[in-house]
Structure 1
Amino acid sequence: MWALVLALVILCCGWCSGGLEVSPIGPQIVVISLDGFGQHYLASYPGHFLPTLYSRGAYPEKFSNQFTTKTFPNHFSVATGVYEDVHGVVGNTVYDAALNATLDIHNQSLFTQNPSLIPIWTLNELVGGHSGCIMWPGCGFPYRNKNVTFFEPFRHSADLRGEMYRVVEWLTNATTPANLVMVYHEQPDLIGHAYGPDSPQVLAELKKIDSALQYFFHELEIFGLRDIVDVIILSDHGMMSVKERDIVDLSALVDTSKFFFTGSSPLLNVWVKEGVNELDVYRPLEHQGVSNHYRILEAAESKAWHYENNPRISRITLLADDHYVFQDFYEFIDSFKEKKYKDLTDTHGEHGYPTTTTNMEPIFVAVGPSFHRGFKAPNFSNIDVYPLLCRMLSLPAGPHNGSFAAIAPVLAQPSTTRLLKPLIIALACMVLLVGVVGMVACALTRRSHKRTVSADSLINGYVYRKTMRKEKPLEDRSEEECLLEPEVEEV
């Protein structure tokens, strides 16, 4: 009997564990950002693995980024779910008049202008999760006095395959397994700047990226994480070709001693120096822009692109035409030559243009148990990624400009639902097990309480019954009475 109970217990436990296709720590999500990977690259993509992810995952008709289409601003918009003029990272470098300082990636103040915002990695840590960041802009600083569990700082020429290996290590950490990992990779942006988006060097870099992604998913398979971990692959912007002959040198057009600028091509924030009349700067710049492939950003454009109402955005902002840049781009070219890039030509690449420009559109594809397979969703934006991650990780979302409703169609089965299913199965198993044990216990109890009859009582009862029935055969005799009958006759 107990062997049967044991067998049922093992069967129920095996059934329940077979239905649990989720991590024991809850949902695990990896976000991989490929800097400068434009949607336009997919048309002539040289690899084979990333296209298979699109066939196995969910992606939008159009994935929108934020203006300006620069690296640090868009990565922080993904992390916080707000527009650039809300979080204050309005360029890769900014001037903060309140601090009287120019800020870059090395200054925490670049990312902390708005204290009401909590990046997704910190929010996850505050509720007990474990976050990991590999070179993600802004993640190297504490927010609300809280650091991430795992962190790797930025380093040039980082190997994506090595980064993917580190991610698997964090996901499988024995004591503090990460449930959210944010990965930044500087390619193909760097190669695109040097050689232009249509160069063979970019195609070669895309092949490396494709191979590294395939390696990562293979590692997930080896560690039994393929059906557990959700992976989001996205980028911040695309890349536009620029020729050296199309560099606009402002110093040859206007008196640049009256102002200084921050930011980088094709968008420059112009700051009028103290004691200079703003009109004396504005008018010459406006006049020269008509015939020199740039313009002063109009108020209507700034409002539509959510690039206003922040003291880090200057009253005079210059935007170069598509395929044109300003004189600061010469520094880019010089850096390529100093680093001895081979086979450089007069064609390079740049980004930062309006989000409506075709070559500025980034990529997004989500693969994993929570997402639809081979599904094209309606348009959504990179600020919608924040509420998506909050919902998947069951985090209390802070203030944001994103829309969960817009990005929700990519979800086939929300993480909370995936957790509910095995819990229901486990509960059913427990009910079944309790029922089986109860039935066995009841049977054993009834058996143990069965009344014991002595031999004398059995004999006397039989004699009495036989006498009353006047020696007639008893049809209802028990086995014991049949055995006793010869002894009774002798008596």
Structure 2
Amino acid sequence: MYPVFPTKTFVNHFTIGTGLYPGNHGVLANSVYDSTRGLLNYGFDLFHYNESTLPIWSANEKAGGHSGCIWPGSGYEYHGVSCTFQKEHNGSIPFEDRVDTIMNWFTHEQTPTNLVMLYIEEPDEQSHMYGPNSIHITNAAARVDNLTRYIEDKLIEHKLQNRVNVIYLSDHGMVGVPPSNFIDFTVFLANNTYNIYGSTPVLQVVPKDLTVEHEIFANLTKGAEQNGHFKVYNEHNLPARWHAHNRRRMGPILVVADSGYGFQDMVIAAQNYRKKFNVSFTNESRYGVHGYDNAEPDMNAFFLAKGPLFSKGKRIRAIQMIDLYNLFCLILKIECGVNDGSKNPQIWKKLFARHKSDQNTTTLHHV
């Protein structure tokens, strides 16, 4: 799958849930500087830039279904509607316990869910600490692989295997970055003239005095040419293919590292990893980073599907992440909200098994 830019977690999770490009749904980073509201971390305001946004879990509720949600951004009302079942993500809860919870939602006597959104943080978390090619990631991937078996076993136990469609997704890829590839672009700027928001490899630079915005942009652009491993954008040269034009939440200046490089904030991140996990890092260490240009192959995500609606053993062409929303609506047989995805259901033709599109099924989306 082709994710959206920036290839960050909350950005792509909200695109999966809404079918909107980031410039339209407003979640342009895990935390953003909003020129009208200031710094926004995870919370209501981050996910409510565009009040016309109708996430799949709310669309399902409005259509009479019941949604169960452990998913970024799902803990709030949209159009006055919230998930029937809701749990905040908690990394300390074992994966299998989370699956047990959603199985209880599926089998609830009064309001059984017909849609569940479940977020699993691995192997992303391990990859950030140890890099995508380490043995830690092999182990984390095996752990998630075992979880898919647990899901399958639980579906059989509850006699749901012929009713539930399971879609496994990732939201982005990952690249290993060594400390030698950390770039301090603040050397090109005058002290105390700016603030920086976000995290590698995409940082917002906001001048303290907007009258010097042009000067800061010019200095950063000159520095990027000199360094050769990052680029600088404003509302005039931001690539249209990113569909991320949103000066309020991505401006006024955006600095983007080339794949395999990071910025000065990675030094602090490495120190935090060392303290939190009591591990030693060297100049040979590789830290996992994502967020790069979504045209980078290393940022690609994956899509797997299994269930009564889906053909067995079929492979389809690479798909756009923004198209998932309409696929979900197609499976659930509900009306979608306004979105940026393809309205042509033929893109999914090879995905579905013959004569099964009218079955009464329920859907589990798992990342």
State if a TM-score over 0.5 links the two structures: yes
Question: Structure 2 CA distance, aligned partners of 1:229 and 1:413?
Answer: 17
Among residues 111, 125, 129, which one is paired with 2:47 in the alignment? 111
Contact 1:259 1:270 in 2 (8 A): yes
Question: Structure 2 CA distance, aligned partners of 1:256 and 1:71?
Answer: 31
Q: Compute the displacement of 1:159 (Å).
A: 2.2
Instruction: Spell out, residue by residue over 1:311-362, the C-alpha distance to the aligned partner (whole angstroms, 9 max, x if none).
Output: 2121321111111111112222122112134354422110001112121111
Q: Compute the displacement of 1:379 (Å).
A: 2.5
C-alpha change, 1:356 and 1:158, in structure 2 (3 Å) is farther
Where do 1:408-423 residues align within 5 Å? Answer: 408-413=349-354, 416-419=357-360
Contact 1:388 1:408 in 2 (8 A): no
Where do 1:154-303 residues align within 5 Å? Answer: 154-274=89-209, 276-292=211-227, 293-297=229-233, 299=236, 302-303=239-240
Q: Compute the displacement of 1:176 (Å).
A: 1.0
Where do 1:304-383 residues align within 5 Å? Answer: 304-342=241-279, 344-345=281-282, 346-383=285-322
Contact 1:161 1:213 in 2 (8 A): no
Contact 1:197 1:349 in 2 (8 A): yes
Give the corresponding residue for 1:91.
29
**Counterpart check, 1:130 vs 2:60:** no
Contact 2:11 2:22 in 1 (8 A): yes
Question: Structure 2 CA distance, aligned partners of 1:415 and 1:125?
Answer: 24
Q: Compute the displacement of 1:414 (Å).
A: 7.5
Stretch deviating more after TM superposition (264-273 or 410-419): 410-419
Q: What is the root-mean-square deviation in Å for CA atoms of aligned residues?
A: 1.8
Q: Compute the displacement of 1:76 (Å).
A: 0.3
Question: Structure 1 CA distance, aligned partners of 2:247 and 2:233?
Answer: 15
**SS of aligned partner of 1:221:** helix
Give the corresponding residue for 1:43.
none
**SS of aligned partner of 2:142:** helix
Instruction: Spell out, residue by residue over 1:259-297, the C-alpha distance to the aligned partner (whole angstroms, 9 max, x if none).
Output: 112221111121122254222101111111123221113
Q: Compute the displacement of 1:235 (Å).
A: 0.8
Question: Structure 2 CA distance, aligned partners of 1:259 and 1:342?
Answer: 33
Amino acid at match of 1:333: A
Amino acid at match of 1:215: Y
C-alpha change, 1:419 and 1:236, in structure 2 (3 Å) is closer
Question: Structure 2 CA distance, aligned partners of 1:335 and 1:264?
Answer: 14
Q: Compute the displacement of 1:212 (Å).
A: 1.1
Question: Structure 2 CA distance, aligned partners of 1:231 and 1:261?
Answer: 40
Alignment length (residue pairs): 355
Give the corresponding residue for 1:436.
none
Question: Structure 1 CA distance, aligned partners of 2:226 and 2:192?
Answer: 22
Give the corresponding residue for 1:13.
none
Q: Compute the displacement of 1:161 (Å).
A: 1.8
Instruction: Spell out, residue by residue over 1:434-491, the C-alpha distance to the aligned partner (whole angstroms, 9 max, x if none).
Output: xxxxxxxxxxxxxxxxxxxxxxxxxxxxxxxxxxxxxxxxxxxxxxxxxxxxxxxxxx
Question: Structure 2 CA distance, aligned partners of 1:217 and 1:69?
Answer: 29
C-alpha change, 1:159 and 1:415, in structure 2 (3 Å) is farther
C-alpha change, 1:279 and 1:367, in structure 2 (3 Å) is same
Q: Structure 1: give runs of 5+ residues left out of the alignment.
A: 1-62, 421-491
Contact 1:380 1:407 in 2 (8 A): no
Contact 1:289 1:295 in 2 (8 A): yes
Question: Structure 2 CA distance, aligned partners of 1:288 and 1:334?
Answer: 26
**SS of aligned partner of 1:89:** coil
Question: Structure 2 CA distance, aligned partners of 1:282 and 1:155?
Answer: 40
Contact 2:55 2:337 in 1 (8 A): no
Q: Structure 2: give runs of 5+ residues left out of the alignment.
A: 362-367
Question: Structure 2 CA distance, aligned partners of 1:316 and 1:411?
Answer: 44
| Runs ≥4 residues deviating over 4 A | 298-301, 413-416
Q: Compute the displacement of 1:309 (Å).
A: 3.8
Give the corresponding residue for 1:64.
2
Question: Structure 1 CA distance, aligned partners of 2:356 and 2:272?
Answer: 46
Give the corresponding residue for 1:78.
16
Question: Structure 2 CA distance, aligned partners of 1:387 and 1:341?
Answer: 44
Q: Compute the displacement of 1:413 (Å).
A: 4.6
Amino acid at match of 1:132: G
Q: Compute the displacement of 1:416 (Å).
A: 5.0
Question: Structure 1 CA distance, aligned partners of 2:87 and 2:305?
Answer: 24
Stretch deviating more after TM superposition (308-317 or 164-173): 308-317
Q: Compute the displacement of 1:302 (Å).
A: 2.2
Question: Structure 2 CA distance, aligned partners of 1:343 and 1:217?
Answer: 38
Q: % of aligned pairs identical?
A: 34
Q: Compute the displacement of 1:378 (Å).
A: 2.1
TM-score, normalised by the number of residues in structure 1: 0.69
C-alpha change, 1:221 and 1:254, in structure 2 (3 Å) is same
Amino acid at match of 2:308: P
Amino acid at match of 2:269: F
Contact 2:309 2:357 in 1 (8 A): no
Question: Structure 1 CA distance, aligned partners of 2:355 and 2:24?
Answer: 29
C-alpha change, 1:263 and 1:120, in structure 2 (3 Å) is same
Amino acid at match of 2:326: P
Contact 2:14 2:72 in 1 (8 A): yes
Q: Compute the displacement of 1:174 (Å).
A: 1.4
**Counterpart check, 1:397 vs 2:336:** yes
C-alpha change, 1:188 and 1:138, in structure 2 (3 Å) is same
Contact 2:201 2:256 in 1 (8 A): yes
